[in-house]
Amino acid sequence: MHKVLATASGAAGGAFGLATLPLELPVSTIIMLRSIAEIARSEGEDPSDPEAALSCIQVFALGGRAGSTDASESGYFAVRGMLAKSVAEAARFVAERGVIEEGAPIVIRFISQVASRFGVVLTQKFAAQALPVVGALGGASVNYLFIEHFQETAQGHFTVRRLERAYGKDIVRAEYERLAQGH
């Protein structure tokens, strides 16, 4: 259902060109985020837990590296490690304060880190919708490819998190590295 909604959103945005990008982009991003949250839930995450919710947003950064679909090449654990402190601080901030106050530096830093990685994806989307010839078909295609990519990234990310809860982070990371080297 999420793929259909994201594709339809991209088609609608693409049909009207760049003028609709500020409206379509938040809609398609929310659809993708809902899809990621559903995958998280299916892997045992609690959506009411701030850390789990922020991990859903983290998927955009984990899946935002252009040119690499292989998890071992994309530096999954490197990116995850870079974001880990920000995720923990932001989750603690939200848990303690209940609501995100304007100017919350910890949350802003986390969002900035995700945005810097997700920005590559947005640049590609912007370019595809900028061409009037591409139109609705381009917008639909781009959104379909993006949601498929982020769903796969989310499935891998939340599977790793589930395995870490079951077996411990060190064991999962060691096995991941062993499998990556045998590639």
* Boundaries of every domain in the chain: 2-181
For residue 22, what are its two tokens? 């500020």
The whole-number average pLDDT for the span 61-72 is: 56
The angle subtended at Cα 93 by Cα 168 and Cα 83, nearest 5°, is: 50
The structure tokens listed for 44 are: 């045992």
Q: Confirm whether pTM is higher than 0.75.
A: no
What band does 81 get if pLDDT is binned at 50, 70 and 90? low
Give the pLDDT of residue 110: 57
| Mean pLDDT of the 32-44 span | 95
In the block, tokens 């370019």 appear at 127
pLDDT at 77 over 60: no
| Integer Cα distance of 177 and 45 in angstroms | 24
* Contact indicator for 65, 120 with CB cutoff of 8 Å: yes
Residue pointed to by tokens 């859903």: 56
Contact between 38 and 15 under an 8 Å Cβ cutoff? The reply is: no
